[in-house]
Structures are given as C-alpha cells and as structure tokens.
Amino acid sequence: MVDLSAIARHLGRDRKTIRAYLSGAREPGKRVRSEPVVIAEFVPYCRQRLVDDPHLWASTLFDEVVALGFTGSYPSLTAAIRDLGLRPHCEACDRSKGRDTAVIAHPAGAETQWDWLELPDPPSAWGLGKHAHLLVGALAHSSRWRGVLATSEDFPHLVEAMDAVVARLGGLTKVWRFDRMSTVCYPPTGAVLPSFGEVAKHYGVTVVICPPRRGNRKGVVEKANHSAAQRWWRTLPDETTPAQAQALLDRLTARLDTRKRMLDGAPTTVGALADAEPLRPPPGVVFPAELSDERTVTAQGLVSWRGNSYSDWPVQGAAHAPHRETQTRRPPSPPRYRRGRGRAHARLDGAGVVMVRDDGHVAGLRERRSWPGSR
C-alpha cells in the first residue's frame, strides 16, 4: 500500500495533490485552469479578422475584442492565437525572423527621431488623393511618440507639424535625427539645407542625418510608424474627419504611454520615463513659414479651411483657390488667400465650425445673379 503521507513529506507537497496525480485526475505538465475560457465566444471573430488581414497586430485585435466585451488578458489572447492556429501562415514573415539587431543607448533628453509616414487610401472626403501624411516624432530614450496629420510634406507643413509634435512631446531634446528628407538635407550627400539650418537654429537643436541605408538607426520612430499604421490607421472608419482622426491618434499615443519598461531593475512606464527627461521648452515664437493649401471655392463664395468656412469673391462654378497662411508667432497669424478680389480674414479656432462673411461678398453674391446662366 502506498503511503501518501510519506510521499507528501518527501516532495514537500499536500497529500491531496499526491492523491490527484496517483489517481489520474491530474497529469504532469498540464495546468488546470481556475477560470472559464473567456476567449471561446470571440474565436470566430478573431479567426475571420486574421483571415481578412493576416498581418494585423495582436495588440490591435486585443483593442477590438475588448471593445466587444472581452475581459481576458492580452497574453491569453496571444496564447489562443497560437494554440488554435488562428493566424494564417506567411512565408515572407518567417524568412525575416532571427535577423541580427543591435541595441543603441539613448541618454535622457538627448535625441528626438523624426519621420514622415505616408498613409494609403485616405477617405475621399479629405481630398488628399492617394496618400495622407503623418509626421511622427519620438523621444529615443523613453519611446514616447506623437504624430500630426498634414496635407503635404513640403517645408512649411513640415515646420508647422514639427512645432505641433514638439508641444505634444513636452519639449525639445538636444538632437533631432532624420533620414534623408529632401526638405531637411541634400539626399545624395546628407548635407543639411540652409533653410532647415535656420529652423534648427531657431529651436536650438543639432540636426543629425542617418547614414544611407541605415533605417534601423532611428528604430524608435520606425516602430512608432508601425504602431500608427497598425493600431490607428487600419482601424479608422471611412466617415472619419481629419480632426476626428487626429483626436483618435492623440488618444492612442496617450494610452501607449502606459507601456511597461524596466529601468535599473525597477518597473516603470514610458510616460514616467518621458516625464523625467530634461526637455527644454519650445521658443515663444513659431519659425516663420508660409503655408499654401488648395481649396475649392463653392458657388456660395466660401472656402473651407481647417474646420471653418471663409468668404471669397463669388465665382462662376466651382474653382480652385490657393489658401495661404504665414505663421510668425504662436498662435499663427491670420491666413491670407487670394483669387481675383479675394479677402483676408482672421483665422478662427479650427475646432469649431464658423462661417465668416463680409458685406462686400454679400454684394458680390447679389451681383452673381446677373451672370449668364445664373438663376
């Protein structure tokens, strides 16, 4: 007869545990779950979602199923994806695994990494064509990143977007790192353009250009680009406006500040590391640059720009008019747009929807009634 007490004393286990293994109720190497499998009802959704998009990040899928009522943890979701084989096989992804990488030390407050991210197939209502443009800035030490949508990647929009990203990051580092952007440097040589040198002087930073074919040198912002594409852009509804998309991105980046990190063996978060970085406040004035956006003048003589409608001289049929704004201080100066007898108006807060008219344009609308073909 087996002495359960002697075995329990020898192994340092409870007698009920020994009895369960000897009777076959429990098997070595298999743990008994203490809670029900909460992923079961979400398996069909996860399977179909991964069939539709095999490269969808598990973290993005986790955000979606949590919104649908999933109460389990992120590790339980990834375990279910592996154990149940929910993600289709991708040969190209398997070939890219196991490549050598290097970890580069980034002192606190030393470097901000910048990159443009071209976002494919924006909503047609945005009027941006095949791509939307997102400027991403990331603190290399803490991995905090922020992004700002822009209508173009030209020099004035770069300066405007950078100022907005710096405000969202909380300040300036000593170095700004770029790849070979044509608005920052001469791509063949990497020499900084005189125009952008003035920007760097204005903000008091040193510009560093990555060597050619060394994209991983700014790996922090590259990883932020992946997060923006997978966790934000892929999930935007088609009816989203640019302002709503920017608000959703700001909400995502704030939530990502809660990512866990280890510092000298102590647990911390990305947000705590970023708040502790010695960042300098941005200058009180914005670098002067003239923005130019093309807008359609409606039959009512209105130009829509950044949430508001401004009055322009009525034209016969829809026409395109350049809308220009010269930013010289914070907040930016009033915008100017010209077409024939176009008017200038003080720019109002873009968060609201405001229509600006003046007496001259009202008179112009009355005059338009006499045009041939007008009713």
How far apart CA 359 and CA 12 sit, in angstroms, is 92
Instruction: Provide the pLDDT for residue 140.
Output: 93
Specify the domain boundaries for CATH 3.30.420.10 within the chain: 111-275
* Sign of the CA dihedral with 270 first, then 271, 277, and 281 last: positive
How far apart CA 60 and CA 62 sit, in angstroms, is 5
Name the 3-class secondary structure at 71: coil
Q: Is 177 within 8 Å of 185 (Cβ atoms)?
A: no
Instruction: Provide the pLDDT for residue 175.
Output: 95
* pLDDT per residue as tens, the chain (375 positions): 667 788 888 888 888 888 888 888 887 777 665 555 678 888 899 999 888 888 888 888 898 898 888 888 888 888 888 888 888 887 766 655 665 566 777 889 999 999 999 999 898 888 788 899 999 999 999 999 999 999 889 999 999 999 999 999 999 999 999 998 999 999 888 899 999 999 999 999 999 998 876 656 788 999 999 999 989 998 888 889 899 999 999 999 999 999 998 888 889 999 999 999 999 999 988 888 777 777 677 766 777 666 667 766 555 444 455 545 445 434 344 444 444 334 444 444 444 445 555 566 666 666 655 555 554
DSSP string, 168-184: HHTSB-SEEEE---TTT
Taking the CA of residue 338 as centre, how many other CA atoms within 13 Å lie in the half-sphere pointing to its CB? Answer: 3
Instruction: Provide the pLDDT for residue 26.
Output: 80
How far apart CA 361 and CA 305 sit, in angstroms, is 18
The dihedral region occupied by 284, where left means phi > 0, alpha psi between -120 and 50, and beta the remainder, is: alpha
Instruction: Provide the pLDDT for residue 185.
Output: 93
pTM of the model: 0.68
Instruction: Provide the pLDDT for residue 1.
Output: 62
For 94-130, b/e burial (b = at least 16 CB within 10 A) is eeeeeeeeeeeebebbbbbbbbbbebeebbeeeebee
Helix, strand and coil content of the chain, in percent to the nearest 5, comes to 35, 20, 45
Cβ count near 8 (within 10 Å): 16
How far apart CA 240 and CA 304 sit, in angstroms, is 17
CA 211 to chain centre: 25
pLDDT single digits (tens) 218-275: 889 999 999 999 899 988 888 898 999 999 999 999 999 999 988 888 899 999 999 9
Nearest to 182 by CA among 142, 222, 215, 154: 154
**CATH code for the part of the protein at 111-275:** 3.30.420.10
Nearest to 324 by CA among 348, 359, 352, 289: 289
Tell me which long-range contacts 92-95 makes (C-beta under 8 A, separation of at least 24).
93/55
Helix axes 74-83, 58-67, angle to 10 degrees: 110
